[in-house]
Amino acid sequence: MAYLYNTPQQQREMLATIGVGSIAELFEQVPENLRLRRPLDLPPALTEIELENHLRELAAKNTTKKTGVCFLGGGSYDHFIPSAIDAVASRSEFYTAYTPYQAEASQGTLQAFFEYQSLICQLTGMDVSNASLYEGGTAVSEAVFMAMRVTDRHSKVVILGSVHPEYRQVCETYLRQVNCELVVVPVPDGIADVAAVRQVLDDRTACLVIQQPNFFGCLEQTRELTDAARKVGALSVVSFDPISLGLLARPGEYGADIAVAEGQALGIPMQYGGPYLGILACRQEFVRKMPGRLIGETVDREGQRCYVLNLQAREQHIRREKATSNICTNQGLMALRATVYLSLLGPTGLREVAELCTRKAHYAAERLSKVPGIELAFRQPFFKEFALRCRAGVDPILKKARAAGFDIGPDLKRFRNSGVSSAENCLLIAVTEQRSRTEIDKLAEALSG
């Protein structure tokens, strides 16, 4: 572990360079009432050996997917990660790379991002993809603002109540600052009623935001919903599960205008909630309204294929007042992981993973819904995730599972203030290709005890 410090001589040299007499003088601009007039309340200093042991003890208290069997859902999933992904992503030329503004010095990174964009277009059935965003929640908000620019409608956005509550909260935070109304359509039966959605759509609506599969794991009537948005001149924004596209129709096939996703399932560890990957793809006619980086292919003066950053004038470091977003980074390392993952699996492998997820999830739903006091919350088709309603409350079920070495949830009461009224006494269960029949049977037995 490296310890970096400044000697008194170095401090004097730095102060002299900036023309300040002392360190205290640096803080004169801080109001007196905000200054701490005592030493920091820090524990005694430790040696490097002691400090490393202490940190290891603290880290050992964390629960990871290796300390229990993971059935956790709600946007972060325990999918298998091939070892080749870590091997490629840990190479120093990728691991230390920044946004490739200087194309002639960044051809390897630019090519990797170009391949990422190509794969996302194939995955989604859309025409063009950017070179990634922060994560799933802000990707939804970026798509909403993009739709407002395309339609020139800035006063109303409609979002289904089955979209991830945290994604909706991010949208609320952004839209509150621009005085745009966010209309949430209730979903009492786990999916949206198309007729109810049509009633709130009008010629003021910039876009309709859909999630497929939705937050409860249920499958929405996406074609009917995108048609309803198009009839009033609004765009359809679909937040999708990348793994589900091994089986389900792609957003481009049922009329989505903008497709976004959380890319964590594509070779990125759960790792305490981040860093993750925001995916955004759209139709060709909207490309100049798209946020984020866009990598293009061209030729150099010798006719050799090469890669460049296209449409940079949209970015805030060049045209701040006309930039399409305030994105300052593109999660490039996470996009690289997704690129390697999709390249390794290919269409056949992705379909196999998707089939394993859905078969195991339906087996788990059948087993768990037979446990006394537990039932499926919604009678709707689902992919790899489903909601269970616990008649005696969620806490006893969570305790039983935890005691038996299983991580399940989340408990949907944490989203009570987000409009998820139909999920009282409910929790989510996600089943990926990693789970076995034995693990599912043992979970059912534990909850029956």
CATH code: domain of residue 411: 3.90.1150.10
Torsion angle of C-alpha atoms 52, 56, 57, 58, degrees rounded to 10? 100
Domain count, the chain: 2
Q: What is the helix (H) or strand (E) element at residue 388, kind and residue range?
A: strand 385-390
- Claim to verify: residue 77 and residue 93 sit in the same structural domain: no
pLDDT digits (tens, 9 = 90+) for 289-314: 999 889 999 999 999 999 998 887 66
Residue listed under structure tokens 């209309």: 183
322 pLDDT band, cuts 50/70/90, is confident
158 is a domain residue:
yes
Q: What is the mean pLDDT of residues 414-429?
A: 75
Task: Establish if 20 belongs to a structural domain.
Answer: no
Residues 74 and 110 in one domain: no
Please check the confidence at residue 97 and state whether its pLDDT lies above 80: no
- Residue ending a domain, choose from 340, 373, 397: 340
Q: Domain ends where: 340, 364, 399?
A: 340
Average pLDDT over residues 406-427: 80
Q: What is the pLDDT of residue 357?
A: 98
Instruction: State the CATH number of the domain containing residue 201.
Output: 3.40.640.10
Kindly state whether residue 62 falls inside one of the protein's structural domains. Answer: no
Which residues contact residue 384 at a Cβ distance below 8 angstroms, ignoring those fewer than 6 apart?
A: 77, 213, 217, 241, 243, 244, 357, 358, 360, 361, 430, 431, 432
CA pair distance 156, 213, nearest whole angstrom: 24
pLDDT tens-place string over residues 1-23: 455 678 889 999 999 999 999 98
In a domain, 55, yes or no: no
Average pLDDT over residues 43-56: 94
Helix or strand holding residue 150 (H, E): helix 136-151
Name the pLDDT band for 419 (thresholds 50, 70, 90). Answer: low
285/219 Cα distance (integer angstroms): 28
Query: Are both 247 and 186 inside the same structural domain?
Result: yes
Q: What is the mean pLDDT of the chain?
A: 92
Domain shared by 242 and 116, yes or no: yes
Per-residue pLDDT tens digits for 116-168: 999 999 999 999 999 989 999 999 999 999 999 999 999 999 999 999 999 99
* Residue 87 and residue 213 in one domain: yes
Q: Which residue has the higher pLDDT, 432 or 42?
A: 432
Residues 336, 352 within the same domain: no
CA dihedral 403, 406, 407, 412 (to 10 degrees): -80
Question: What's the whole-number mean pLDDT along residues 165-183?
Answer: 94
Q: Is the pLDDT score of 237 beyond 60?
A: yes
Q: Are residues 252 and 146 in the same domain?
A: yes
- Residue 313 is predicted with a pLDDT of 60
- On whether both 366 and 430 belong to a single domain, the answer is yes
Percentage of the residues of the chain whose pLDDT score is greater than 70:
94
Domain of 409?
A: 69-81+347-448
Instruction: Summarize pLDDT for 193-210 with one digit per residue, the tens.
Output: 999 999 999 999 999 999
Residue 11 forms part of a structural domain:
no
Same domain? 162 vs 201 = yes
Distance CA 265, CA 255 (A): 24
Residue 331 pLDDT = 86
Within this chain, do residues 178 and 240 fall inside the same structural domain, yes or no?
Answer: yes
